[in-house]
Structure 1
Amino acid sequence: MSTFMWALAALYAFPLVWFLLSSFKPGSELFRYPLTILPENPTVAGFEQAWDRFDFLLYFSNTLIVAVSTTVLTVIASAMTGYALAKYQQYRWVKIFFICILATTMLPTEVILSPTFIVIRDLGLYNSLAGLVVPSILTATGVFMFRQYFVSIPDDIIEAARIDGAREVGIFFRIMLPMSRPIIMTLAIFSFQWRWNDYIWPLIVVGDESKFTLQIALRSIVGAENIDWPLLLAASAMSLLPLILLFVVFQRYVMNEDLNAGLKD
């Protein structure tokens, strides 16, 4: 089984490794036959062009602002909503509201693009970074993750806190939220990845080039007749660094967390 898993990992890693190594090849080597994996004359010219001529820093900053702000707001909103849906089930409308949230997962993204765009336009958020952030704050996936986790926590913990004089806001922020750290880390990774790789929504909302995200800017490199492949590969490789760093840093927190911390059998 171990050999099979390593073989499967190598199969998935091969295209990525080829892509990263190709970003160090000059244009003359990219389509030379026979193809080679390792660059014969490594160069960083593509990375230099991406940083200077492509204005990589501007697009990187825009994408980072959108991804980080959306991730923080998504985690907070999803945690609050999930907690309310899990611990206030005595109200019938809460269960109905939860079903409505889950129902949104059955709608393709393309179906809600038009009404969402109209709302953003009427709010005056068109062609702004805020227009990229606001519609993505609350996700059914995040609400469902937190709701299912909070349901598994005994109500005795909350009742004990109330007896000690803790208020509802204090119970959530001082007790429940720290206990849900594994869910916070997991949702943060997913949310950051979703917003970092988002293409369709920024393409619709943002028209000013100074507010382009990386995915839109990378698409602009592809011309109608020719493509600067060294520049495109280098810029694409640089755009992957935050995602790789995020996974490396937060993976150990997610994997090492005890989901049952603070609970008794």
Structure 2
Amino acid sequence: MSCSSKAPEDKPLARSASPLVEEWTATGTMAESRKYHAGVVLPTGKVLVMGGYNASGYLSSSTVYDPATGTWTAAAPMPAPRQVLTATLLSSGKVLVAGGENATGRMASTAVYDPATNTWASAGNLASGVARDSLTATLLPSGKVLVAGGGNTSGAKVNVDVYDPVAGTWSVGPNLGTARRNHTATLLATGQVLVVGGVVSASLATAEVYDPTSNAWAATGALATARYNHTATRLPSGKVLVVGGRGSGVG
């Protein structure tokens, strides 16, 4: 009896009937153009976009995007126009905006939007009293909001303010180790906040970490390349990816 030496044939791998398509698709257009605005995803999955600037000037208008229909709907305007602001989704589902700039200059005022009633209300002024834009706002595990840095006509700031949404009050937090504006702030898996880069008279490579337990900042490893106006994204591994930005000084 003879034996065949022919190797068994490899079966072809099954191919998905619906391969992943990586592309961009146009969606609904906002009623007005804007830049230097802010946006936040609401608990409903809709996106609230507010403020900014266009040819008509500083904007107080807000608009809501519905991903289910691809359409935009006008929402109640903010109490005051502002650009280069922060927007933070609170644990309650409301949205806090802070700082920014309008025709009167930099701002220390803040406001809260309630999507349930489509209304805005004043949330008072930053406790430090320092008006500024290009700042960051981070929701802490406690539900409080940490507002850090920013700048105004006198330069970058070390100021930190903390908002308590339960009490509806602001308090002064511990100063940053380094004044900075146009930086990033990222909530880490530990509940700490990583602040990276920014600019004073030149771009910064330094980074520091806020610990809510000790209510203190500590320096951490510096970037290989100084930068501002970059992005910082926490990855599933817990590491933070910093991308792009500018590296030149400002006048």
Q: TM-score, normalised by structure 1?
A: 0.20
Quick check: which one's strand share is greater?
A: 2
Q: TM-score, normalised by structure 2?
A: 0.21
Higher relative contact order, structure no. (Cα contacts within 8 Å, ≥ 6 residues apart)? 1
Quick check: which one's helix share is greater?
A: 1
